[in-house]
Amino acid sequence: MKKQIAMNVFFYIGIFVSVVGLKWAWQNQNYPVVALFIATTIFFFYLKIKLIRDLRGSIKDKSL
């Protein structure tokens, strides 16, 4: 459970850094970097959703 909490925090930090970097790159009109930050943001959201699904499944398994 501690590992999953640590991963959740890491994903939040990754999403935050990606969004801030996306804003910075957009303001500086650095479009290849914008594409990179969009990709990393989507990747972190995907991992976060996958983690939440795994957590819900493990909670249901423990309650049975």
Query: pLDDT by residue (tens digit) across 8-46?
Result: 999 999 999 999 999 999 999 999 999 999 999 999 999
Cα–Cα separations (whole angstroms), residue 41 to 1, 8, 11, 48, 63 = 24, 14, 10, 11, 33
Q: What is the token pair recorded at 44?
A: 């972190």
What is the 8-class DSSP label of residue 1? -
pTM assigned to the model? 0.84
Q: How confident is the model at residue 48 (pLDDT cuts 50, 70, 90)?
A: very high
Rounded to whole angstroms, how far apart are CA atoms 43 and 62? 29
Task: Identify the pLDDT of residue 2.
Answer: 87
Distance CA 42, CA 45 (A): 5
